[in-house]
Structure 1
């Protein structure tokens, strides 16, 4: 069993957002300080990590989000 702690990933200086585009954009946690949470999305995908990333972006687009962040990615 491997246990990782990434607390420092959530303790960074705020960063500016990229300009909005027609598709939802992946941003890092430090860019979320000025945003309001719209909801949570999850996917269960057979394939690569990139396939899961694309599925998340497609769902974010469908919900009308301009930005999204991935907080957990787990392979089974």
Structure 2
């Protein structure tokens, strides 16, 4: 099991709200991580940049770290426009 998953996507027109960089719009890389005790969080950045930004409201406690794939898939779906 991996403790990190990433996906590159194009956001909805409203963008992706972050805690420290405002709204990211367009193509972004989304990264979900989970700790051994099930604390999941998500970060985003523009592809090919170094700094990750915490996604607002995305921190969750998972019943098991094995549920990271479900968390990540739901997070990606939440930020995709309907046509993707």
**TM-score, scaled to structure 2:** 0.28
> Whose strand fraction is larger, Structure 1's or Structure 2's?
2
Q: Rg: which structure is higher?
A: 1
Ranked by relative contact order (alpha carbons within 8 Å, sequence separation 6 or more), the top structure is 1
Decide which structure has greater helix share.
1
